Amino acid sequence: MKRTIIPFGPQHPVLPEPLVLDLILEDERVVDAVPTIGYIHRGLEMMVERVEYTEMGFVAERICGICSFMHGMGYCVSLEAIMNVEVPERARWLRIIWAEISRVQSHLLWLGLGADAFGFENLFMHCWRMREEILDIFEKTTGGRIIHSVNRIGGVKRDVSDAELAAIVVKLEELGKAFEKTANVFGKDPSIRHRLSGVGVLSADDARAVDAVGPMARASGVVMDTRLSGTYGYDQVDFEPVTETAGDCLARVVVRMREVQQSIGLVRQAVEKMPKGEGMPLENKPRGNPVGETYTRLEQPRGEVLYYVKANGTKNLERFRARTPTFANIPAMIKLVRGCDLADVPNIILTIDPCISCTER
């Protein structure tokens, strides 16, 4: 049969960021896809050569606008490991709280985009309205809605009072209840089911074979969550990773919906377990320049992120590398796109939650 090549992107209504897929079609069926990335490469990793290591955290934060807190935290955690800096306990808990709130924010953003992709504009607006309340929490506690700039090597820069933390928990629980109704729509609406159920099925074996990470892997039944390793204070909170077994687009939506509730629960646990009081130490300042290298793994909203930092004793690091979750999920996306209908391609691409800014840095 004659083959047709359809370029998908860089500009496409469902794509929030530029990604190109050359879809090779036979009739309406995709037989292969060739991804091209590199439209928004900014060379942020190269900036370590001229930006001092104390200032690089702000650059790391700007890798991506949705998981900016986690990128800043990952950079600081790596440097703390190299320089043997102990983070004060309250600062560690505050990092967990902010990280989990940013996970809620990211998933709400994605659920909205997902709803928009399958043409449910009303639902999209509702998800983003809820996200706005989360951004308000960020503005109150960190000073910025998107770029928080609270992480420093050795701790965090701002404290949040206990009363304010309690208010945040109350607000998040209210949001969780409101979100349940929205989640009900995602789970029960027949048109959504018809559009997503059974589309783009990734089996557990395939997920392992293509090294899928994050909600993508968990929707296929692979229990994989970097938070389970218990680093950075996650050993002191109780949680079960959210998994689904279907592995289709709907399962990936459901995993993210349940993770919103899980993160709200984690924030509540963290607020209960963190040491209370005013004026507790939040930062241990590092001394001297870093020497050595380290790997850091964190669980971002999109999956596992990996940072490699190599320092040589000068003010500038030798190498800073971030392997972001979307980059790891692109092979899985290509696998899913092969064999599906052209009309399902937007949904499949969107359910991996692509963050191209992260991927290209």
Partner 1 sequence: MANPLRLPMVPRALRNLVSRPATRRYPYEIRPRFEGARGTIEFDVETCNYCMLCMRRCPAAAITVVREDRIWSIEHLTCIGCNVCVEVCNKNSLSMAKESKPVHTHAEVGPQGQRPGHEEWHGPDPAIAAAAKAAAAAT
For residues 38 to 77, the per-residue mask of contacts with partner 1, x marking binding by CB under 8 A and - elsewhere, is -------------x--xx--xx------------------
Between 29 and 177, name the residue whose CB sits nearer to partner 1.
177
Q: In this chain, which stretch among 84-92, 144-152, 228-236, 259-267 interacts with partner 1, using CB under 8 A?
A: 144-152
| 167 binds partner 1 per the rule CB under 8 A | no
- According to DSSP, the residues that pair with 323 across neighbouring strands are 306
Q: Under a CB-based contact definition with an 8 Å cutoff, are residues 53 and 316 in contact? A: yes
Between 62 and 302, name the residue whose CB sits nearer to partner 1.
62
Residue 334 CB, nearest approach to partner 1 (Å): 33
For residues 172 to 201, the per-residue mask of contacts with partner 1, x marking binding by CB under 8 A and - elsewhere, is ---------x--xx--xxxx----------
> Residues binding partner 1: what is the number (CB under 8 A)?
28
Burial 326-341 (b: 16+ CB within 10 A, else e): bbbbbebbbbbbeebe
- Please list the alpha-helical segments (H only) found in the chain: 56-61, 68-83, 89-117, 121-142, 162-188, 190-196, 204-209, 214-219, 249-273, 325-337, 345-351, 356-360
Instruction: Give the H or E element holding residue 361.
Output: none
- Kindly give, in sequence order, each residue whose CB lies less than 8 Å from that of residue 281, ignoring residues fewer than 6 positions away: 88, 90, 91, 155
- According to DSSP, the residues that pair with 356 across neighbouring strands are none
Residue 181 CB, nearest approach to partner 1 (Å): 7
- Kindly give, in sequence order, each residue whose CB lies less than 8 Å from that of residue 230, ignoring residues fewer than 6 positions away: none
Measure the CA–CA gap between 306 and 61, rounded to whole angstroms.
14
Residue 305 CB, nearest approach to partner 1 (Å): 22
Residue 29 CB, nearest approach to partner 1 (Å): 27
> Which residue among 29, 41, 42, 129 contacts partner 1 (CB under 8 A)?
129
Between 56 and 306, name the residue whose CB sits nearer to partner 1.
56
Between 195 and 218, name the residue whose CB sits nearer to partner 1.
195
Q: In this chain, which stretch among 119-127, 212-220, 255-263, 317-325 interacts with partner 1, using CB under 8 A?
A: 119-127
Residue 79 CB, nearest approach to partner 1 (Å): 15
| 123 binds partner 1 per the rule CB under 8 A | yes
Q: Count CB atoms within 10 A of the CB of residue 249.
A: 28
Q: In this chain, which stretch among 76-84, 105-113, 143-151, 332-340 interacts with partner 1, using CB under 8 A?
A: 143-151
Q: Name the token pair of 72.
A: 């800043």
> Which residue among 27, 139, 174, 205 contacts partner 1 (CB under 8 A)?
139
Residue 147 CB, nearest approach to partner 1 (Å): 8
| 136 binds partner 1 per the rule CB under 8 A | yes
Q: Under a CB-based contact definition with an 8 Å cutoff, are residues 95 and 232 in contact? A: yes
Q: Name the token pair of 131.
A: 């996200």
| 314 binds partner 1 per the rule CB under 8 A | no
Residue 52 CB, nearest approach to partner 1 (Å): 8
> Which residue among 16, 18, 65, 144 contacts partner 1 (CB under 8 A)?
144
- According to DSSP, the residues that pair with 30 across neighbouring strands are 25
Measure the CA–CA gap between 345 and 168, rounded to whole angstroms.
39
> 225 in helix, strand or coil?
coil
- According to DSSP, the residues that pair with 24 across neighbouring strands are 5, 32
Q: In this chain, which stretch among 10-18, 115-123, 269-277, 333-341 interacts with partner 1, using CB under 8 A?
A: 115-123
- Burial class for 84, CB neighbours closer than 10 Å (0-12, 13-18, 19+): exposed
> Which residue among 149, 197, 236, 316 contacts partner 1 (CB under 8 A)?
149
Which residues sit at the interface with partner 1, rule CB under 8 A?
Answer: 51, 54-55, 58-59, 120, 122-123, 125-126, 129, 136, 139-141, 143-144, 147, 149, 157-158, 181, 184-185, 188-191
